[in-house]
Amino acid sequence: MTDLAATDPLPKPKRDLAPILLPLALALLMIPLIGSTSSWLTLTVASLAMGMMIFIMASGLTLVFGLMDVLNFGHGAFIAVGAYVATLVLAPFAASIQADSLWMNLAVLGPAALLSMAVSGALGLVVERVLILPVYGQHLKQILMTTGGLIVAEQTLYALWGPQIIPMPLPASLRGSFIIGDVAIAKYRVLAMLIGLSVFIAIQLVLNRTKLGLLIRAGVENREMVEALGYRIRRLFLGVFMTGSALAGLGGVMWALYREQVHASMSDDLTVLIFIVVIIGGLGSIGGCFIGAILVAMVANYGGFLVPKLALVSNILLMVAILMWRPRGLYAVTSR
């Protein structure tokens, strides 16, 4: 019954390394084009930090796309809500934030980020139950409902906080740079990279080392079969949606600190980048999303430095190039 004899060597699982090597190749290719090593290093670190923040915001969306086949155009609302909620904690403790002590800064920043995640996650619960549950399987209605939800969320933020841009200064200990030779690496970018990498590792551990992760991976590939095996995938959907919303909230706080400001439509530009990341990464693929986010950030930073006029279209060109190479994204997980 086997296609191989018992003595044949076990086939080794094929590892698709090409997408992993892509950011590395791009970075190396840029060294001669940029010329200065310090500029290249600064741009590369900026790309990695920006990529990690985009990854955090996009990781939930790619699972929602892959697992639930839901086109959530309102994902940006969680980003903005997360950022605004953080201001509720950071504003009263402005003195602690501006104290020149890393621990005092983190003692305020940590709870602010956690509260943002909790509120965004809870908002995710409401959105899934109220807006998305009635339109599962109906893409056009999903687009209308979630876009409407985004508009309502933005207008609510305007109504509650006003139309003005709210400053969100970096904590004192995260300002400035590490100076290594003639290279300056911003402290906050290093923190963003560490947090992004931690989120990536945590998601990979859950997906690959737990039964819950097995179910999510199986559900991304074939929801019906997971149900036919006796699992209530709707509960899983809800859990993933809430987690994705919470991560978007965390990403919102990090992005707001990066830009040092918060406003209700802060997610508008980000949403385009996030969708590009999700599409080029492959719907439902966390690994693809991670690489896609780094690529998008690299193209934005290197492109902005080398050919500023191309900055507006550079990521669209990246998406076209990737999809011509791999029409279902870097790592095709679903059949969609």
Partner 1 sequence: MSDLLKLSGVHTHIGRYHILQGIDLTVPEGQVTMLLGRNGAGKTTTLRTIIGLWQASKGEITLAGQRIESLATPDIARLGVGYVPESMAVFSDLTVKENLVLAARDAPLDDKQLDWIFGFFPALRRFWLSRAGSLSGGQKQMLSIARAIVEPRKLLLIDEPTKGLAPAIVMALIECLKEIKRKGATILMVEQNFFAARELGDNVLVMDNGTIVHRGEMAALAADVPLQERLLGLSLEAHQ
User: What residues line the site for partner 1 (CB under 8 A)?
Assistant: 1-4, 6, 10-11, 13-14, 211, 214-215, 217-218, 220-222, 224-233, 333
CB of 59 to partner 1, least distance (A): 17
How far, in whole angstroms, is CA 336 from its chain's centroid? 21
Which one-letter DSSP state was computed for residue 9? P
CB of 225 to partner 1, least distance (A): 4
- CA dist list (Å): 202 to 66, 89, 96, 159, 206: 19, 26, 29, 36, 6
CB of 8 to partner 1, least distance (A): 8
DSSP-H helix ranges across the chain = 18-34, 37-68, 75-90, 94-98, 102-127, 139-161, 187-209, 211-221, 223-228, 233-259, 267-281, 286-306, 311-325
CB of 223 to partner 1, least distance (A): 10
Tell me whether residue 174 or residue 233 sits nearer to partner 1 (CB atom): 233
Tell me whether residue 282 or residue 292 sits nearer to partner 1 (CB atom): 282
- CA 166 – CA 13 distance, rounded (Å): 51
Tell me whether residue 14 or residue 309 sits nearer to partner 1 (CB atom): 14
- CA 200 – CA 37 distance, rounded (Å): 28
Tell me whether residue 213 or residue 304 sits nearer to partner 1 (CB atom): 213
CB of 1 to partner 1, least distance (A): 4
Tell me whether residue 199 or residue 226 sits nearer to partner 1 (CB atom): 226
Question: Which CB contacts under 8 angstroms, 24+ apart, belong to 157-161?
Answer: 157/80, 157/81, 157/84, 157/264, 158/264, 160/84, 161/84, 161/87, 161/264
Tell me whether residue 129 or residue 259 sits nearer to partner 1 (CB atom): 129
CB of 69 to partner 1, least distance (A): 15
Tell me whether residue 4 or residue 17 sits nearer to partner 1 (CB atom): 4
Tell me whether residue 2 or residue 164 sits nearer to partner 1 (CB atom): 2
CB of 60 to partner 1, least distance (A): 19
CB of 13 to partner 1, least distance (A): 5
Q: Which of 76, 85, 87, 65 is nearest to 151 (CA)?
A: 76
- CA 19 – CA 331 distance, rounded (Å): 8
- CA dist list (Å): 150 to 67, 80, 138, 267: 21, 10, 18, 10
- CA 283 – CA 300 distance, rounded (Å): 22
Residue pair 75/60 in contact by the 8 Å Cβ criterion: yes
In single-letter form, the type of residue at position 240 comes to V
